[in-house]
Amino acid sequence: MDTASFARNGVGTWGLVAVALGLVAVATLVPTAATMGGRGTPFWCLTCGDYALADALANVALFVPFGWAMARTGVRPSISLAVIPATTIGIEFLQHSFVPGRTASASDILTNTVGGVAGMALHWLQSTIGESGERGRRAATLYGVVLVMGLGAGAATQAVPRPRTLRWTQGGMASRDYVPFTGSVRTVRVDGRPIALDAWTEVPPAETTAIAVDLVSGRPDTGLAQVLIAWMPSGSGWVWLEQRHRDLHVHVASASDGSRLRGHSEWLSSIMPALAGEPVTVRLVVRRFWYRIAVMMPAGEVVREVSLSPEDGWRLFAPLEREWKERLTAALAVGWMAVLLAPLGYLASVRSRSATVVAAAGAGASLLLLPVMSGCAWLPPSGWCGAAAGFLVGSRGRTRRASGGASD
């Protein structure tokens, strides 16, 4: 290898480390708003928080590229194993000391380190599989099965349950996390029928449940307040409304709530009236894999509709502030499918070109069958584009690696 080629490879290798660190910095060191309840997670608590599992998995995934990039540099593993925890400790120190809205925790240090080590192991596994086409075939088959099962489990986790009975209660009580709601709920209608608060009410067994809530807005300067909650017989909430400043929060239950993953929490920013006492109507139409929220006020109407397909698995994990989440929904969905399909393209290409074609056909057939089997929405064009792009990039990555090895 000549000097120029060596220099290019060195810049490219350490450039990947820089990119990985940049992603980590953007995800961890950008200031955010205060936590919802106004209190942080205790530093030494490893399982605290409503989204403890989602945050842990996101923290692991965040450091996988960094560990993988460090392993590619050729430095001794002992050095990488020292750099990874040192990096996450430094980030937690900056969060605690200088970054508004961020909370340092031992859980973040632990899960980031696990992710970095997993990234190092991923590079070793990539090299091992790349040495044998048969290993690539077996790995592609195993990954394909796990991928389909994971997508199916993700869809089931996001499904909205269908309760037979509900008990509706109005918010208003003060607690550690909430202030009293200064407005009032006037009427609640389920499928057009007025229902009584604080009493169990049967829900008609239908594919769609339509809810209409007429309320009087509260003061927008009091903090986070519960407006209305629909309780299931299990003691968990099925739907609840909250107001924080002029933002309205609508949460629809799913299995993700009990798993400490992120579920269907929709924040409609700055839509509540600026003054207390204004009439507001919230209409919520819910199906198993779809819901529609419409908020009607004297100033106009705001509508949000969510249809859940395989590309929406990122919603279970993404620890983003609500404003960024709204803006990046399409990009996150495309990126989610690309990240999931890229390893399949890489592993299949290790075997042969024909194996790559078979894997692509199998992945496409599975994505078509999944909505039929689970009942979730069809994968939209954006999801197909993300899946195809990820698969192609993964398969081309193997080709480029092989070509680079040959030229060396």
The pLDDT tens digits for 189-219 are 999 999 999 999 999 888 999 999 999 998 8
Domain boundary residue, one of 131, 147, 181: 131
- Do 183 and 289 have their domain in common? yes
Domain boundary residue, one of 246, 278, 307: 307
Q: What is the pLDDT of residues 92-131, one digit of tens each?
A: 999 999 988 888 899 999 999 999 999 999 999 988 887 7
Q: Model-level pTM?
A: 0.85
- Do 201 and 79 have their domain in common? no
Q: What percentage of the chain reaches a pLDDT higher than 90?
A: 66
- Do 352 and 385 have their domain in common? yes
- Do 230 and 258 have their domain in common? yes
Q: 71-79: long-range contacts at Cβ-Cβ below 8 A with a sequence spacing of 24 or more?
A: 71/119, 71/120, 71/122, 71/123, 71/124, 72/13, 72/16, 72/123, 73/13, 73/14, 73/17, 74/13, 77/120
- Do 237 and 323 have their domain in common? no
CA distance 205 to 140: 43
- Do 246 and 375 have their domain in common? no
CA distance 359 to 398: 15
Q: What phi and psi, each to the nearest 5 degrees, are found at residue 380?
A: -75, 170
CA distance 307 to 309: 7
CA distance 321 to 36: 11
- Do 225 and 297 have their domain in common? yes
Domains in the chain, number: 3
- Do 188 and 294 have their domain in common? yes
Least confident range of 31-35, 222-226, 354-358: 31-35
- Do 350 and 218 have their domain in common? no
Judged against a pLDDT cut of 70, whether residue 352 lies above it is answered with yes
- Identify the pLDDT of residue 269: 87
CA distance 242 to 227: 5
CA distance 268 to 323: 9
Domain boundary residue, one of 257, 292, 307: 307
Q: What percentage of the chain reaches a pLDDT higher than 70?
A: 89
- Do 303 and 313 have their domain in common? no
- Identify the pLDDT of residue 162: 92
Average pLDDT (298-324) is: 84
Print burial letters for 349-369: b (CB count within 10 Å at least 16), e (below 16): bbbeeebbebbbebbeebbee
Higher pLDDT, 26 or 2: 26
Residue among 30, 53, 152 at smallest CA distance from 99 = 30
- Identify the pLDDT of residue 36: 43
- Identify the pLDDT of residue 216: 93
- Do 245 and 292 have their domain in common? yes
155 contacts 373 by C-beta, under 8 angstroms: no
Domain residues for the domain of 322 are 133-159+309-408
- Identify the pLDDT of residue 2: 53
3 state SS for the chain: CCHHHHHHHHHHHHHHHHHHHHHHHHHHHCCCCCCCCCCCCCCCCCCCCCCHHHHHHHHHHHHHHHHHHHHHCCCCHHHHHHHHHHHHHHHHHHHHHCCCCCCCCHHHHHHHHHHHHHHHHHHHHHHHHHCCHHHHHHHHHHHHHHHHHHHHHHHHHHCCCCCCEEEEEECCCCCCCCCCCCCEEEEEEECCEECCCCCEEECCCCCCEEEEEEEECCCCCCCEEEEEEEECCCCCEEEEEEEECCEEEEEECCHHHHCCCCCEEEEECCCCCCCCCCEEEEEEEEECCEEEEEEEECCEEEEEEEECCHHHHHHHCCCCCHHHHHHCHHHHHHHHHHHHHHHHHHHHHHHCHHHHHHHHHHHHHHHHHHHHHHCCCCCCHHHHHHHHHHHHHHHHHHHHHHHHHHHC
CB contact set of 161 (below 8 Å; sequence gap of 6+)? 232, 238, 253, 254, 255
Judged against a pLDDT cut of 70, whether residue 320 lies above it is answered with no
Interhelix angle 77-97/52-72, rounded to 10 degrees, is: 140
Residue among 142, 19, 134, 1 at smallest CA distance from 72 = 19
Q: How confident is the model at residue 174 (pLDDT cuts 50, 70, 90)?
A: low
Q: How confident is the model at residue 86 (pLDDT cuts 50, 70, 90)?
A: very high
Q: What phi and psi, each to the nearest 5 degrees, are found at residue 236?
A: -95, 155
- Do 231 and 336 have their domain in common? no
